[in-house]
Structure 1
Amino acid sequence: MKISKTLKLTLPLLFVMSGAGTASAYFAYHMGSQALQGVSQPENNPTKKLGDKSKKSTKPTEFKPIDEKTILIRVYDHTHKKNKAAESKNKQESKNNQKENKTSQSIDNNPQELKSSQTVANLPLHVKDQGVKLEIQEASKERTTLSFKVNLQNEGVTPVRFLYSFLEVKDSQGRALSAITEGLPQELPPNSENFVGKVKIPSALINDSQTLSFNLTDYPDQKLQLNIAQIPVIR
């Protein structure tokens, strides 16, 4: 009798628990379905894309450094363009200085002073190598700089290119000096006319040196050696 009562109580309890579990599972499934609405399966497999990329070539490109000569030419061309405006101004100043020199020469007629000037100047000086001629025609003092009038001429059959940053100017003690060129062409054509320009050196760099030396070579071959020594310093 007791067993039958226990069984009667147990069976309803099992049915209630089974119903509660079924209801919970249904509600969980329903809520999960609503939460996943709008979420679709990707069209392509991501792992497949990674596999395709791995098949492509991953060989690094070869590093090619820029040639030093190319860099120097670009730097010179950039600097040369900037100096064009300054060159026109300096040419005008040069014309004015020539007028002043002519005026001073007409005033100073002392034979002794003229003879002393010729002895100190000892110009022109020139050198020639492989048909290319460099001549230092005269020297003059312009404010805070010592200016040399120079001529360049190519009597050969091939053009010659110059990079004037390679112009070496040294004093009598062998110390290198900074110099600025004006009016000289970047390239001398074959059988060319005479090109006139200037080489200017700050007077403060010369100190007590009595002579200077110029050394100019072509670029980029550097086959020419235009070397002039014992260039007098005008003070």
Structure 2
Amino acid sequence: MTVVLLVMMFGAGIFSSAWGYRLGRDALKEITQPDVRPSNLTEKANNAPRQEGVKFLTEQEILASVKKRMEGGEEATAASKKSEPKPEEKAETENTSEETAANPAAFPIVSRDGGITLEITSVTRKSNSLLLNVNIKNEGDRSIRFLYSFLNVTDDKGRALSASVDDLPGQLPPGSQTYTGTVTIPTALLDNAKELGMSLTDYPDQKLQLQMSGIPVVE
């Protein structure tokens, strides 16, 4: 039994060696050795492109090149200064792009009812919003409450617009003090509207009717 096992192991080793040799030979069949004979190397060296030496400029050529570059730089600088707007013009352009105001001759637009005075003092367009600057005052003898979600803003086509109110008090005490705030309307809602209307009533009685129309929309 031992002899049989040894013979089988020996036979398996020979078979494995022969199989590995055959696989290695097949894998290297397509690989060839590069031709490194001296004659071929000499021929390739002779056929290689030759590099030219460094060409030095004369003193006159260097001075002419520098002069030409200096003249070109001066012309570019002069053209840049000529095309650059003046500080006053630049500031005016920036202010126009950032904020535009309506004609002040159209203001104030005032509405009064029950001792309450509501007025729009100006309209400005800033970024993506139309800003209505408003004043409100209670000249009556009792405190009036407002819920600004009841503020109704419409355009000249009769469409209701979403608006937010800032800095106006919800409870307006009697007296002569004037409160200032802002009504903000997204310009995306205006859709080529030329004028706006606005109305406000008190809460919860809803007896006051503060109404205004002809509010110009700033382009």
The TM-score, its normalising length taken from structure 2, stands at: 0.53
For residues 122 and 104 of structure 1, what CA distance do their matches in structure 2 show? Answer: 23
Structure with the higher fraction of residues in helix conformation: 1
Which amino acid letter does the alignment assign opposite residue 180 of structure 1? S
For residues 103 and 159 of structure 2, what CA distance do their matches in structure 1 show? Answer: 27
Which amino acid letter does the alignment assign opposite residue 186 of structure 1? G
Q: Is the 8 A contact 2:102 2:218 kept in 1?
A: no
The answer to whether residue 103 in structure 2 is matched with residue 135 in structure 1 is no
Where in structure 2 are there 5+ consecutive unaligned residues?
A: 1-90
- Of 160, 163, 166, the residue aligned with 1:179 is 163
The answer to whether residue 186 in structure 2 is matched with residue 202 in structure 1 is yes
- Counterpart of 1:118 in structure 2 is 103
- Of 198, 210, 213, the residue aligned with 1:226 is 210
* 1:132-171 matched pairs, under 5 angstroms: 132-171=116-155
Q: What SS does the corresponding residue of 1:170 show, helix, strand or coil?
A: strand
For residues 117 and 199 of structure 1, what CA distance do their matches in structure 2 show? Answer: 15
- Counterpart of 1:190 in structure 2 is 174
Where in structure 1 are there 5+ consecutive unaligned residues?
A: 1-102, 109-115
Q: What SS does the corresponding residue of 1:204 show, helix, strand or coil?
A: helix
* 1:34-49 matched pairs, under 5 angstroms: none
Which amino acid letter does the alignment assign opposite residue 218 of structure 1? D
The TM-score, its normalising length taken from structure 1, stands at: 0.50
For residues 197 and 117 of structure 1, what CA distance do their matches in structure 2 show? Answer: 17
RMSD of equivalent CA atoms: 2.4
Q: 4+ runs of 1 displaced by more than 2 Å?
A: 116-119
For residues 151 and 122 of structure 1, what CA distance do their matches in structure 2 show? Answer: 16
Q: What SS does the corresponding residue of 1:184 show, helix, strand or coil?
A: coil
For residues 186 and 134 of structure 1, what CA distance do their matches in structure 2 show? Answer: 14
- What is the deviation of 1:191? 1.3
Identical counterparts, % of pairs: 44
- Counterpart of 1:22 in structure 2 is none
Which amino acid letter does the alignment assign opposite residue 222 of structure 1? Q
Which amino acid letter does the alignment assign opposite residue 216 of structure 1? L
